[in-house]
Structure 1
Amino acid sequence: MIVVSDTSVISGLIQAESLFILQKLYKRIVIPNEVFFELNKLDKRYLDQLSNDWIEVIKVTKTPLLNELSSILDLGEAEAIMLARELNADVLLIDEKKGRMIASKMGVKITGILGTLIEAKRQNLIKEVKPILKTL
């Protein structure tokens, strides 16, 4: 399974001390360079949690479509959508409304932090969703 993530889902789960959910659910996450840079700008503590062998950073091919997307979305979102398309990902983890809408229109299957938490509960990886949502 190929799972690409934007910044929001990873940063939210790190803040909630629940990043383990992504590893347990998906085994491997792929992020574009810009998402990696964004996460490191937010908090240097993220660097330790992101240097795991189950998180892979991949450079996105610069294309006119990426330029177009980055003119209406932030660069991390644009790269995540493009990477999901390039890799024919099974799912893109993204929360921002505009990014979700564009990704869906481009045929990319999406879920966000809430969908991830619900799936984690369904698979008995967490007992409750609500306490994690409260910390966000």
Structure 2
Amino acid sequence: MTVVSNTSPLLNLALIERLELIDAQFGEVVAPTAVWDELTAGFDGRDRIEAFRDRGGIRVVSPEPTELRTEFERELDRGEAAAIAYAIDIDADRVLIDEREGRATATRHDVPVTGVVGILLRASSRGAIDLEAELDALREAGFWISDALYERALEMDEE
């Protein structure tokens, strides 16, 4: 399984010290350089992200700019545009992305999406984490989760 990641899922999992969930759930995870640049632009967990890359948790790629990527950059940030365009170019199995506009764009192009909440739900269904505690940790780290999504995730976890 090849998965392309945008910034937010990796960043937020690093902030709550749960990057190992990426290893547990996905095969090869790649990030375009535009995403890597955003990840290493000075946030608190930069050392965790770099260590994750160094142990093979993520591979950074430098895709050539494409017309599709340029088109996406009209409405999305550089990292999102690069991740989605690259996922389409390599026929990736999934793109990891949280932002609503990016998720909608990937879905329109038939690329399956998973965000940080989905990653946490999968881990919880396997008994690897306490979902509510991790959602709370995400909120404390500054990740915005609507009350409706928070409650829906907890309900899905109980099913």
> TM-score w.r.t. structure 2 length?
0.80
How many aligned residue pairs are there? 135
Q: Is residue 77 of structure 2 the alignment partner of residue 74 of structure 1?
A: yes
Distance in structure 1 (CA, Å) of the matches to 2:68 and 2:27: 30
Q: After TM superposition, list the pairs within 5 Å mapping 1:1-136 onto structure 2.
A: 1-43=1-43, 44-45=46-47, 46-124=49-127, 126-136=128-138
- Which entry has the higher C-alpha Rg, 1 or 2? 2
Equivalent-residue separation in structure 1 for 2:17 and 2:57 (angstroms): 17
Alpha-carbon distance in structure 2 between the residues aligned to 1:48 and 1:86: 27
**One-letter code of the match for 1:96?**
E
Q: Distance in 2 between matches of 1:76 and 1:93?
A: 12
Render the CA deviation track for 1:36-86: whole Å, top value 9, x for unaligned: 110000424232333221311111221122111112100000000011111
Counterpart AA for 1:24: A
Q: Distance in 1 between matches of 2:27 and 2:13?
A: 15
Structure 1 outlier segments of 4+, above 6 Å = none
Gaps of 5+ in 2: 139-159
Distance in 2, Cα, partners of 1:123 & 1:27: 17
CA offset at residue 27 of structure 1?
A: 3.6
Instruction: Answer yes or no: is the 8 Å Cα contact 2:6–2:96 preserved in 1.
Output: yes
Deviation at 1:7, TM superposition (A): 0.3
- Structure 1 gaps of 5+ residues are none
SS in structure 1 opposite 2:73? helix
Instruction: Give 1:8 shift.
Output: 0.2
Task: Encode CA deviations 1:79-128: one digit per residue, 9 max, x unaligned.
Answer: 0001111111111110000000011001111111111111112223x231
Indicate the SS of the match to 1:41. Answer: coil
- Give 2:68's aligned amino acid: L
